[in-house]
Amino acid sequence: MGEGRTIVGRRALGRFWSALLCLPLLAAPFALAAASPKEISVPTRDGRRAVIEGDLFLRVPVPKKGGLAAVAKRYTGDAAREKDLLPFNRVRKGRRLTEARVPAALLTPAYARELQAALFPDDARTKEGWEHRFERGSWSDLARWFTGDAGNAPNLKAANKKLRTLKKGDHVFVPYGLLREPFRRFALPGEPAPTPATGAPQGGAPSPQGAGTAPPIAPPVVPAAPASPPVAAPPATDPRALLTYGKDEKGAYALYRLQAHEALYSAVVVRFTGNVSAPDVNALALEIAQRSGITNVTGIPIGFPVKIPVDELLPQFLPADDARFVAWQANETRVGEVPKPTHSASLDGVVVILDAGHGGLDRGAVKNGVWEDSYVYDIVCRIHQGLESRTKARVLLTLMEPALGLKPQETKSLTPNTGAVILTHPWFRQESTAETKVEVNLRWYLANQYFERLAKEGTDPARVVFTSIHADSLHPSLRGTMFYVPGTAYRSAKWSQSGAAYEKFAEYKAKPIYTQTDEEQVQTEGLSRQFSRCLEKSFKDRALPLHPFQPTRDHVVRGRRAWVPAVLRNTVVPCSLLVEVCNIANKEDAELLKDPAYRQAIAEAYIDALIAYYS
Ligand SMILES: [Zn+2]
């Protein structure tokens, strides 16, 4: 929640009267506010005009040379966008267009910022979305300006329950899921600003007519963003630099000194031990507190030494002479040497096997009014649709809900996919919850048979990707997406299932037992991690929340055990990944998952990452 939102008072009636009394006084110095909120024009700091004419536009001068195409190139980053500008810029016969309207949705982030600074100088992009300081307009106006769709007014209202009536100075919160482009791409405070596609305004911009008194000012120098910005909080240096090691009567420990604003469960337990489930995090935090002599976990002084049992540490945090650390480091080296896959930026020849994580009688995690199966299925449908329309990739599915087909659902309230089937031969439809394990195993049998068939048909194995989409239920303080890759250390060389439950399926009959060499598994881990790095970057680029410490993991830690989920552990596809799109035990993440715009953003970030992986 943004800090500003707490400012809102509860005495709505009192505020109403005081607002009414202040109105004539306030209105006088703001001549602009007196105009209809649908028609506002403000000069920008660079001498253009930021206008509200129903929607938001930047009014810019049209150069004699190049015309509207030059405008499109400069302000949207793409000359071909000229056709998108035409409907907003009707030219009268025999006259030259001297000023053009560029809709906010098409502006590069740098020009969108110029527009924002003029129209909404007190607004800010926040981690959760956007904070708007209310000046004028209705809920529908705000929805049109900030979400791109006036129809989002009820959603925007719902996100601001404390605001019964809109008053000047109120803080209106726009959740990220609703926020339109290009505001979504605005850098967060402290992050490098995005580099504009065709450069920020250069030199003194020509002053359009009616620009008012503000003379053109040279734009501030925008620092170039690093090619690949760091994704998570940990520094690039050895993460063990934060720890020292010792021993007490209970055995070996790692010592960490708590920093300002750090909490034991997140900064210590989640970060260093990899535990994420609520009971595990709470139990281990208690154990660590007792061992460290902490009596009040909510009032730990800054710099207080916290003892973490060495046995609980993730391998990368172990002392250098620990056998687990040595093995981990050796694996890292091998995985890091795996060469990149062959290029195919259009994804020509690429096949993506998509696995919607749950369905049928297995709904997956259920929390805060959402559940896994139908919500992750909707994301799979969106990835499928996007890949088919944007790229040349082929999509194969492990699961389908025949009643729904593959059409994305543009609604917040989905219904459970009780009729979902695994697309084996014959189809598998769960008849009791006891069959959930069979369903899980049939997923990888099917994925493996897809892969073997593709290989036989001549598909390059390096152009097949397997992705299972899930949503997790973790400690409620955690937010964001996590990616699981199949850690070589957690896999076996041979695996199979047996029993009557499997024998009727062609996929099982074709090959009941799988084997893989260590070398093949290292290859898989290497490629999968390359893909996950692309995913981390594209999620970051779209400002989608990522898990704060290790967004990519090679195993699950739960109930003091470590393993790779079966659907990943047992697939033979050389690039295999499991995505936990968010933590539905966290209320904000659960709200995001309900939002079709968020599900679409996840799908698009996935496709961008796949293109980057093959570029
Ligand atoms: Zn799941």
Residues 252-265 pLDDT 10s: 999 999 888 888 99
Q: 472: CA distance to ligand 1 center in Å? A: 6
Average confidence (pLDDT) over 469-491: 96
Q: 356: CA distance to ligand 1 center in Å? A: 9
Q: What is residue 147's predicted lDDT score, i.e. its pLDDT?
A: 80
Q: What CA–CA distances, in Å, run from 10 to 159, 162, 196, 324?
A: 17, 8, 42, 56
Task: Say which residue the tokens 């969108």 belong to.
Answer: 112
Q: Distance (Å, rounded) from C-alpha 105 to C-alpha 212?
A: 25
More confident residue, 45 or 352: 352
Q: 149: CA distance to ligand 1 center in Å? A: 32
Q: 593: CA distance to ligand 1 center in Å? A: 14
Q: What CA–CA distances, in Å, run from 343 to 231, 351, 386, 535, 595?
A: 24, 14, 20, 17, 34
Q: Distance (Å, rounded) from C-alpha 186 to C-alpha 225?
A: 12
Which uninterrupted H or E stretch holds 147?
helix 139-147
Q: 489: CA distance to ligand 1 center in Å? A: 22
Q: What is residue 79's predicted lDDT score, i.e. its pLDDT?
A: 85
- Model confidence at 434, in pLDDT bands (50, 70, 90)? confident
Q: What percent of the chain has pLDDT over 70?
A: 85
Average confidence (pLDDT) over 416-444: 94
List Cβ neighbours of 555 (8 Å cut-off, separation of 6 or more): 274, 484, 487, 489, 490, 562, 563, 564
370 pLDDT exceeds 70? Answer: yes
Q: 568: CA distance to ligand 1 center in Å? A: 12
Average confidence (pLDDT) over 342-369: 93
11 pLDDT exceeds 60? Answer: no
In single-letter form, the type of residue at position 514 comes to Y
351 pLDDT exceeds 50? Answer: yes
Helix, strand, coil percentages, rounded to 5, for the chain: 40, 20, 40
Q: What is residue 60's predicted lDDT score, i.e. its pLDDT?
A: 93
Question: What is the phi/psi pair of residue 539, to 5°?
Answer: -65, -40
Instruction: Judge contact between 102 and 109, C-beta under 8 A.
Output: no
Q: Distance (Å, rounded) from C-alpha 469 to C-alpha 580?
A: 6
Q: What is residue 160's predicted lDDT score, i.e. its pLDDT?
A: 85
Q: Distance (Å, rounded) from C-alpha 74 to C-alpha 108?
A: 9
Average confidence (pLDDT) over 381-386: 97
Q: What is residue 303's predicted lDDT score, i.e. its pLDDT?
A: 87
Average confidence (pLDDT) over 165-191: 77
Q: What CA–CA distances, in Å, run from 93 to 59, 85, 87, 90, 96?
A: 21, 17, 15, 9, 8
Q: What CA–CA distances, in Å, run from 490 to 269, 328, 446, 532, 554?
A: 22, 11, 22, 18, 8
Please state the pTM of the whole predicted model: 0.64
Question: What is the phi/psi pair of residue 580, to 5°?
Answer: -100, 100
Least confident of 106-120, 245-259, 578-592: 106-120
Q: What is residue 37's predicted lDDT score, i.e. its pLDDT?
A: 62
Q: Distance (Å, rounded) from C-alpha 357 to C-alpha 371?
A: 11
Distance of CA 256 to the CA centre of its chain: 30
Least confident of 20-34, 396-410, 507-521, 545-559: 20-34
Task: Say which residue the tokens 């003029």 belong to.
Answer: 118
Summarize pLDDT for 117-150 with one digit per residue, the tens.
889 988 888 766 788 999 889 888 888 898 877 7
Number of Cβ atoms within 10 Å of the Cβ of 174: 27
HEC letters along 385-428? HHHHHHCCCEEEECEECCCCCCCCCCCCCCCCCCCCEECCCCCE
Q: What is residue 192's predicted lDDT score, i.e. its pLDDT?
A: 53
Q: Distance (Å, rounded) from C-alpha 126 to C-alpha 133?
A: 13
Q: 196: CA distance to ligand 1 center in Å? A: 38
Average confidence (pLDDT) over 466-489: 96
89 by Cβ neighbours in 10 Å (0-12 / 13-18 / 19+) ranks as: middle
Average confidence (pLDDT) over 221-235: 32
Least confident of 88-92, 386-390, 479-483, 551-555: 88-92
Average confidence (pLDDT) over 336-344: 91
Q: What percent of the chain has pLDDT over 90?
A: 58
Q: 460: CA distance to ligand 1 center in Å? A: 29
List Cβ neighbours of 394 (8 Å cut-off, separation of 6 or more): 350, 351, 352
Task: Say which residue the tokens 């008012």 belong to.
Answer: 212
Q: 381: CA distance to ligand 1 center in Å? A: 17
Average confidence (pLDDT) over 483-492: 96
- Model confidence at 177, in pLDDT bands (50, 70, 90)? low
- Model confidence at 191, in pLDDT bands (50, 70, 90)? low
Q: Please state, rounded to an integer, the average pLDDT across all residues of the chain.
A: 84
Q: What is residue 555's predicted lDDT score, i.e. its pLDDT?
A: 95
More confident residue, 472 or 210: 472
Q: 527: CA distance to ligand 1 center in Å? A: 23
List Cβ neighbours of 175 (8 Å cut-off, separation of 6 or more): 128, 129, 159, 591, 592, 595
436 by Cβ neighbours in 10 Å (0-12 / 13-18 / 19+) ranks as: middle
Q: 272: CA distance to ligand 1 center in Å? A: 24
Structural tokens at position 490: 């957690």
Omega cis (within 30) before 220: no
Q: 358: CA distance to ligand 1 center in Å? A: 6
Q: 371: CA distance to ligand 1 center in Å? A: 9
Q: 362: CA distance to ligand 1 center in Å? A: 10
- Model confidence at 354, in pLDDT bands (50, 70, 90)? very high
Average confidence (pLDDT) over 490-497: 96
Average confidence (pLDDT) over 214-232: 31
Least confident of 117-121, 355-359, 535-539: 117-121
Residue 447: closest CA among 581, 576, 359, 564 = 576
